[in-house]
């Protein structure tokens, strides 16, 4: 699918809900966040670096919130993207110590599970495609790569649970494209549909949120036939406190089921600082530490600066 079609699919998914609003709409707000970011991940035997430029347009209509995320990345190394190892990278890591015949046997077993009968010629073709992709990926990991990441869109609806709006419940529906090049780590290699449920509290100087979600993997790169992605649940708990009118400190605990058959769940804890430099300008600095999970980084540090129009 072309880049223009990816953008069109997301825009249609995000904006289709606006037709439910009649002429009596009271509160309509457009917004655009522009941000620059840098992240460094420390893996067991290597380091990955990522610079990012994000455009995030949004539209709020009463209790509804519609948003798009259009990321542009410059990366080097085996990057652990958005909490998920890109599918091709995960597959190449897993088969690295397998013999050619073992890899072919796994290709055949996966095909049988899907009700597909493969000839020896087809098995050899898939084996060659996969191993060539892994060789290219190993070479790519030693270089810088720049390009569009996975474009995504989300729709949220919020309901206040009390008159003072201290507590609220939010439901969400989102879609992520596979517009990023997974072969060099710019995307996950999958198209996902996400549903979310969250509860939040904002009182005085404290903010607290819990979010639970489930991701349905709609499709994936058909060339990868060994470790197919599964649907997975995820969740996070976030707490922050404003120490002054320009500084907030916070912590986030996140967990995600394994999205690859036979993989491990991912867990992380993050500490962060938010600096309000002006009403429109914010600086976010953080450090994350991951549990001992195969193919995940040991730690990550990063910062981004965001301007809101």
Query: pTM score, two decimals?
Result: 0.73
CATH number at residue 120: 2.40.160.40
Domain housing 156: 3-308
Q: How many domains does the chain have?
A: 1
Tokens describing residue 113 = 């599970």
Distance between CA atoms of 6 and 71, rounded to whole angstroms? 13
Residue-wise pLDDT tens digits, 254-289: 998 877 666 678 888 999 999 999 999 999 999 998
Residue-wise pLDDT tens digits, 112-159: 776 777 788 888 887 887 777 777 766 666 677 889 989 999 999 999
Most confident of 4-13, 136-145, 194-203: 194-203
Element (H, E) at 39: strand 28-42
Residue-wise pLDDT tens digits, 38-81: 988 887 666 778 899 999 999 999 999 999 999 999 887 665 55
Phi and psi for 98 in degrees, rounded to 5? -95, 150
pLDDT score of 221:
54
Evaluate whether 104 touches 120 at the Cβ level (below 8 Å). Answer: no
The rounded percent of the chain whose pLDDT value lies above 70 is 76
Distance between CA atoms of 45 and 231, rounded to whole angstroms? 29
Question: Once rounded to an integer, what is the mean pLDDT over residues 12-18?
Answer: 44
Q: Which of 219, 208, 216, 220 lies closest to 233 in space, CA to CA?
A: 216
Q: Please, what sign has the CA dihedral across residues 299, 85, 258, 190?
A: positive
Per DSSP, helices labelled H in the chain are 3-15, 87-95, 100-113, 120-140
């Amino acid at each position: 699918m072309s880049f223009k079609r990816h953008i069109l699919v997301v825009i249609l998914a995000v904006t289709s809900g606006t037709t439910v609003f009649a002429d009596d709409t009271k509160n309509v707000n457009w917004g655009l966040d522009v941000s620059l970011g840098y992240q460094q991940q420390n893996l067991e035997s290597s380091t990955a670096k990522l610079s990012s430029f994000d455009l995030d347009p949004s539209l709020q209509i009463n209790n509804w919130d519609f948003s798009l995320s259009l990321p542009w990345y410059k990366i080097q190394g085996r990057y652990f993207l958005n909490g998920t190892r890109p599918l091709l990278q995960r597959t190449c890591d897993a088969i690295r110590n397998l013999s050619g015949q073992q890899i072919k046997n796994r290709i055949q077993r996966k095909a049988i599970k899907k009700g597909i009968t493969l000839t020896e010629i087809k098995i050899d073709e898939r084996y060659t495609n996969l191993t060539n992709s892994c060789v290219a990926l190993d070479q790519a990991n030693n270089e810088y790569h720049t390009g569009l990441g996975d474009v995504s869109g989300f729709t949220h609806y919020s309901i206040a649970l009390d008159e003072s709006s201290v507590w609220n419940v939010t439901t969400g529906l989102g879609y992520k494209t596979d517009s990023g090049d997974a072969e060099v780590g710019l995307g996950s290699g999958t198209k996902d549909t996400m549903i979310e449920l969250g509860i939040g509290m904002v009182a005085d100087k404290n903010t607290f949120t819990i979010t639970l979600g489930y991701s349905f993997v709609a499709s994936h790169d058909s060339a990868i036939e060994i470790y197919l992605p599964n649907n997975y649940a995820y969740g996070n708990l976030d707490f922050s406190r404003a120490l002054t009118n320009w500084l907030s400190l916070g912590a986030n605990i996140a967990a995600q089921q394994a999205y690859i058959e036979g993989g491990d769940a991912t867990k992380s804890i993050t500490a962060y600082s938010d600096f309000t430099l002006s009403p429109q300008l914010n600086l976010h600095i953080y450090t994350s530490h991951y549990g001992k999970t195969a193919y995940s980084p040991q730690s990550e540090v990063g910062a981004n600066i965001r301007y809101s129009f």
